[in-house]
Amino acid sequence: MENKLEIKLGDKNDQKDIYSLVKELAIYEKAENEVITNLQEYIQLFEEGLFRCLLAKLDGKTVGMMVFYDAFSTWKGKMLWLEDFVVLEEYRRFGIGKKLFDKLISIAKRENYRLIKWEVLDWNDPAIQFYKKIGAVLETNWWDGKYFLE
Q: Which of 28, 42, 131, 147 is catalytic?
A: 131
Distance between CA atoms of residues 126 and 141, nearest Å: 20
Instruction: Give me the phi and psi of 142, to 5 degrees please.
Output: -110, 140
Q: Give the burial class of 51: count Cβ atoms within 10 A of its Cβ; 0-12 exposed, 13-18 middle, 19 or more buried.
A: middle
Residue 42 among the catalytic residues: no
Per DSSP, the three-state class of 23 is: helix
* Residues classed as catalytic: 131
